[in-house]
Amino acid sequence: MSGYLRSRIPDQCGESAAERVAAAGADLIDLNMGCPVPKVCKTGAGAALLADPDKAVAIARAAGRGSGLPVTVKLRSGARPGDLSGVDTARRLAEAGVVAGICIHPRHASQRHSGKPDYELARELADELPVPVIISGGLRSAESAREAFERSGAAAVALARGSLGNPWLFSQLLGERAEPPGHDEILAELDWVMDRAAEHLGAERAARYLRKFYPWYLERLGGDKALQDGLQRAATLAEARQLLGLAS
């Protein structure tokens, strides 16, 4: 089991949250200091922490102290073009000895998920830091993940948005399968996701929550605009299944 903790303030609160994560059976705590979403950054969390390396170090230290677990941190290269505050923060975290690894998404936060990641910058960081560096960003296929791994010199890759609606990416990257998933396999996976969402959230809430999932799968199913629109309007899981041809 992996544990993920997003802590907004250090010291006692950070330790308390970390203790709860450890008690739940997590193997590590990964702090996301790279999220570019405005509603996250305006609270001082996510990529906003790149402007306050002292606070970033304090949070990582508190998480490790409170949990007794290894702590890793994910960051962006900076907040905007030309800004390397994320690289500087990565150095500070490593020098302070409060992280077991750094995950770098080498695009600035204002790029969000567009533009080409700077894998050469990631390589400089991987060569310099005394802790393992993990590469993330722009990994939408096994080929792009392998390219990023080689060009960055990272110790590992972290698949994030590229795996949304595409869990087969992991086995493709590991060489366990070469062919893309077929139509029936994609539908079966989506059907499983719908069942799990209903178990976790309840059928009514899951019907709304899954609307952001459908485009990931329809991209691979080749669904048309009418189907996409219908799924976004579906009031129940039964209605969504009917549209997808999953109704029994």
Phi, psi (degrees; rounded to nearest 5) at 181: -65, 145
34: exposed, middle or buried (C-beta count within 10 Å: 0-12, 13-18, 19+)? buried
d(CA 7, CA 26): 16
- Residue among 72, 189, 230, 190 at smallest CA distance from 136: 72
Question: Which of 13, 35, 41, 103 does the annotation list as catalytic?
Answer: 35
Q: Assess whether 35 carries a catalytic annotation.
A: yes
Q: In what order do the strands lie in the sheet with 29-33?
A: 3-4, 29-33, 71-76, 101-105, 133-135, 156-157
Is residue 11 within 8 Å of 61, Cβ to Cβ?
no
Write out the catalytic residue numbers.
Answer: 35
